[in-house]
Structure 1
Amino acid sequence: MYEPYPTPQVKPEQQKYRYSSLWEYAKYDIKVLFFILLITGLIGLGINHLILCLSIGFTIFISFHFYALYVVNQWISHRSYDAPPNLNGIWGALLFNIYRAQRQERIVQADMVGLIARAQESLFALGEAVVLTDELHQIEWWNAAAERLLNINQQDKGRNILGILRQPSFVDYFHNMEQYPDGVKLNSSVYEDHHVQIKLTRFGMESRLLVAYDVTRVHNLEQMRKDFVDNISHELRTPLTVLSGYLETFTDQDDFNPRWKRAFDQMQSQTRRMNALVNDLLLLSRLENDRQVAKNQIVDMPSLMTQLFDDAQAYNTDYGHMLNLDIDSHCDLIGSDTELASAFGNLITNAIKYTPRGGSGAITIGWHDDQENGYFTVQDNGIGIDLKHLPRLTERFYRVDSARSRHTGGTGLGLAIVKHVLMQHNAHLEIESEANKGSCFKAIFPKDRLCQSETP
């Protein structure tokens, strides 16, 4: 516990000028010098050796100052924690100010030590593991939770963190932190069937702060959700196929009663919608399960864009929009052609569906690059989206207008699929939109996903 240092014992005559100006401090020394020179001058006049006596007086004055300098040096070198010696004049003021500055610094240091101690106590009380590494990636400090979750012990101090957490996914995350904004999830090396989420923060030159916490329960719940969606989607496919087949059989009969036509048309429409929903759920499940699969095919972008444009024209038959294709890049993409085609197709289909019919709709599909990034764009002049909805558009089942989505037959999963596909290609989606003026969806791919096309 911090105890204040004793205040220096000073003479009353010193106390009155120590907080005055430097000139006030120097007055005492000038008076002493004048007094010594006066005495030695009178003696010199008496013995007829004025210059000699004045020199001796000045030497005595300088000797006093050398002695004071010796006292100051001794105090600074050996006893600076004690109260300063009582000296008059400038040297006394210098000692007092040095001591006061040291005392204030010690108070600040003591406060900092107390604050650091409280911070360490707080970190020790955390359930999350906290580890500090230096510029050489060697472990400097850790809390109790790090011993429990990461199996770090006293023998590991000074060891390289990569020598302890050696899983390839963590090593890749450690060297490419910017590619893992949410950190990385690892299998626990301490407890079987446990999972730990790790997040790194860089500070200083190359020092890092590691925070890890147990996400086993969240992982299990997420896995249960995925298994449920996957299983229920597979189970629904068979009855939906049967229903769809019987509905088509009934409506194709020559003696089919026209009174039932509207009801059967609605049943067929809802069956197709449920089939689309099941297919999208299965696709999302596959994307989540195959996220570690290498996406290293060379996708011929002019060919893919032409195919997407042809599909869009076929889909556009009932809408009558003006479709445009704009390709000004000679770069191909490195990735999965089927996944990219699915993502791009979703963006195009959405633009067609949410642009009102009437002959004034215009949709432009584009592929561009600027030597740094590749851009797949879909721009329309449709109904647009209010700004408040943009941050949540890629969430599953999020709908700007539920009634409109039901009317267009949307599943609410299209943009979620787009987001997952782009994430697995190190890309991201940017959305620019304004209500009643149209939207622009832009998929941005990094330079390392581009390759020069072999065809001119």
Structure 2
Amino acid sequence: MENNWFRAISGRLFWLLLGCLLIGLLVGQPAWALVIGLAIYLGWMLRQLQRFQHWLQTHPGEPPPEASGIWGEIFDGIYRMQRRDKRMRGRMQTVIERIQASTAALSDAVVMIDKDGHLEWWNHAAESLLGLRAPDDSGQHVHNLLRDPRFVHYFDHGNYREPLDIPSPLNINTWLQYNITRYGNGERLLLVRDVTRLHNLEQMRKDFVANVSHELRTPLTVVVGYLETMIDSDDGSNPRWMRPLHQMQQQARRMQSLLNDLLMLSRLETSEARAEEKPVDIALMLPGIRKDALAVSGERQHSISIDCATQARIMGWESELRSAISNLVYNAVKYTQDGGEIQITWVQDDRGARLSVTDNGPGIAAEHLHRLTERFYRVDSSRNSTTGGTGLGLAIVKHVLMRHHGELQISSTPGKGSSFTCVFPAERLI
């Protein structure tokens, strides 16, 4: 295209100069004829440039002016581009209007936030759920309108893998779930939905489990106490009763363990006012956990080793962390074959600290890994008493780590063993 224009301009200039030269030869002034011809050509070009500039400044949305020659081709090309862009803008505007109409019909709130945190657009549901007002709140920073400290931390922290559930700013009895997605050049899309019904159902479930556990704890303690008394007072006159009594005692203790785990899990889920955080020395805690795990192993002769590469302490609650780590170690002892090896590792890096419990047991198939932290989920579907367990250990670990802003990572290869890693963020370390 550029070559065609160059040839056209060069051709017109050549014929103009040739004509001026012939006229100059006829009148005996070839030099002046060439100068006058170039001046006329330059004046015409300047005139077209002036028209073009005037059109750009005063009527850029209208068709360009009429012209002949190379400038006519330029103006025609601009006109075709205008028509093409107008059609494209029309199609895009139609798509935008359809998206806005469909978004406005959603019962969930949708809020578009720019890279600096200012509100750009929202649908009607955002006004009823969040109290946003158009057009007064347009351009306001999101922190000026949603001031809950939990949302401010969630928004600024930048980790949006999990949603945030907090009460509504308009009604404390309404619970909202916030999801943030990044898009474009740092912009964020805030999605908010009303989860009050799900929250109430979850609270009912937690209250039911907690109340039932409390109610069963006292009668079960009485049953266990009487069974111990009957076993201890046996004089050997009725040997046939000893086996059923021992079996009853074993199952009652399993029920006690289950109730204790349920009560602890309920406390982890529901308690808000907790004791003050204190520095917890994980390296100092591990030898005691190892000693208890060896006692649990007993005649199975597991090899349990500790590798402490750091003396970092964690701000948190010692009893909860001890319970979480103990659950991981006891699980490794329970599911690793006799004489198996278990290694406890405590390391630190720039991102935080990690406590890993690794064994060379039978491993876990990949389809089970994402469900291991669910309550009562068991890879061993038979639920026999030899592998025991309540199915709540890893759920407790997960909730303890959540209260310490950490996460549980699980990796396993069938036939080669498993590794459970507690990851603590750097801000929790001392």
Give the TM-score of the pair, scaled to structure 2.
0.89
Instruction: Say if 2:1 is the partner of 1:21.
Output: no
CA distance in 2 between counterparts of 1:364 and 1:63 reads: 89
CA distance in 1 between counterparts of 2:120 and 2:61 reads: 31
Q: CA 1:256–1:273 in structure 2 vs 1: closer, same or farther (change >3 Å)? A: farther
CA distance in 2 between counterparts of 1:447 and 1:331 reads: 10
CA distance in 2 between counterparts of 1:93 and 1:292 reads: 78
Instruction: Say if 2:331 is the partner of 1:325.
Output: no
Q: Which residue of 2 aligns with 1:363?
A: 342
Instruction: Say if 2:363 is the partner of 1:384.
Output: yes
- Please report how far the alpha carbon of residue 219 of structure 1 lies from its aligned counterpart in structure 2 after TM superposition: 0.6
Q: Which residue of 1 aligns with 2:227?
A: 247
- Please report how far the alpha carbon of residue 232 of structure 1 lies from its aligned counterpart in structure 2 after TM superposition: 0.9
- Please report how far the alpha carbon of residue 27 of structure 1 lies from its aligned counterpart in structure 2 after TM superposition: 7.0
**Structure 2 matches for 1:345-364, cutoff 5 A?**
345-357=326-338, 360-364=339-343
Instruction: Say if 2:43 is the partner of 1:63.
Output: yes
**Structure 2 matches for 1:45-444, cutoff 5 A?**
45=26, 47-154=27-134, 155-178=136-159, 181-191=161-171, 193-203=173-183, 207-252=187-232, 253-255=234-236, 257-290=238-271, 293=274, 296-357=277-338, 360-370=339-349, 372-403=351-382, 406-444=385-423
CA distance in 2 between counterparts of 1:163 and 1:70 reads: 50
RMSD (Å) for aligned C-alpha atoms: 2.7
Q: CA 1:50–1:324 in structure 2 vs 1: closer, same or farther (change >3 Å)? A: closer
CA distance in 2 between counterparts of 1:305 and 1:432 reads: 22
Q: Which stretch has the larger CA shift, 409-418 or 233-242?
A: 233-242
For residue 322 of structure 2, what is the amino acid of its counterpart?
A: A
- Please report how far the alpha carbon of residue 287 of structure 1 lies from its aligned counterpart in structure 2 after TM superposition: 0.5
Q: Which stretch has the larger CA shift, 214-223 or 322-331?
A: 322-331
Kindly provide the CA deviation profile for residues 406-436 of structure 1, in whole angstroms up to 9, marking residues without a partner as x.
4221100101111111111122222232222
Identity between Structure 1 and Structure 2 (%) = 44
Kindly provide the CA deviation profile for residues 68-98 of structure 1, in whole angstroms up to 9, marking residues without a partner as x.
3344334444444444444332211111122
Tell me the secondary structure at the aligned position of residue 407 of structure 1.
coil
For residue 288 of structure 1, what is the amino acid of its counterpart?
A: E
Give the TM-score of the pair, scaled to structure 1.
0.85
Q: Which stretch has the larger CA shift, 289-298 or 214-223?
A: 289-298
Mark the structure with the bigger radius of gyration: 1
- Please report how far the alpha carbon of residue 225 of structure 1 lies from its aligned counterpart in structure 2 after TM superposition: 0.4
- Please report how far the alpha carbon of residue 311 of structure 1 lies from its aligned counterpart in structure 2 after TM superposition: 1.1
CA distance in 2 between counterparts of 1:381 and 1:135 reads: 48
- Please report how far the alpha carbon of residue 125 of structure 1 lies from its aligned counterpart in structure 2 after TM superposition: 1.1
For residue 37 of structure 1, what is the amino acid of its counterpart?
A: C
- Please report how far the alpha carbon of residue 116 of structure 1 lies from its aligned counterpart in structure 2 after TM superposition: 2.0
For residue 427 of structure 1, what is the amino acid of its counterpart?
A: G
CA distance in 2 between counterparts of 1:318 and 1:130 reads: 61
Q: Which residue of 2 aligns with 1:8?
A: none
CA distance in 2 between counterparts of 1:23 and 1:371 reads: 62
Q: CA 1:40–1:63 in structure 2 vs 1: closer, same or farther (change >3 Å)? A: farther
CA distance in 1 between counterparts of 2:262 and 2:386 reads: 20
CA distance in 2 between counterparts of 1:87 and 1:32 reads: 20
Instruction: Say if 2:23 is the partner of 1:40.
Output: yes
Kindly provide the CA deviation profile for residues 280-314 of structure 1, in whole angstroms up to 9, marking residues without a partner as x.
11110000113563662122334311211221122
For residue 348 of structure 1, what is the amino acid of its counterpart?
A: V
Aligned residues of 1:130 and 1:211 also touching (Cα < 8 A):
yes
Q: CA 1:370–1:35 in structure 2 vs 1: closer, same or farther (change >3 Å)? A: closer
For residue 368 of structure 1, what is the amino acid of its counterpart?
A: V
Kindly provide the CA deviation profile for residues 222-247 of structure 1, in whole angstroms up to 9, marking residues without a partner as x.
00000111011111112222222233
Q: Which stretch has the larger CA shift, 32-41 or 390-399?
A: 32-41
Q: Which stretch has the larger CA shift, 75-84 or 107-116?
A: 75-84
Residue-pair matches, total: 428
Q: Which residue of 2 aligns with 1:13?
A: none
Tell me the secondary structure at the aligned position of residue 159 of structure 1.
coil
- Please report how far the alpha carbon of residue 161 of structure 1 lies from its aligned counterpart in structure 2 after TM superposition: 2.4
Q: CA 1:291–1:432 in structure 2 vs 1: closer, same or farther (change >3 Å)? A: farther
Aligned residues of 1:383 and 1:438 also touching (Cα < 8 A):
yes
Structure 1: runs of 5 or more not aligned = 1-17, 452-456
Structure 2: runs of 5 or more not aligned = none
- Please report how far the alpha carbon of residue 19 of structure 1 lies from its aligned counterpart in structure 2 after TM superposition: 11
- Please report how far the alpha carbon of residue 137 of structure 1 lies from its aligned counterpart in structure 2 after TM superposition: 3.1
CA distance in 2 between counterparts of 1:294 and 1:117 reads: 53
CA distance in 1 between counterparts of 2:354 and 2:64 reads: 73
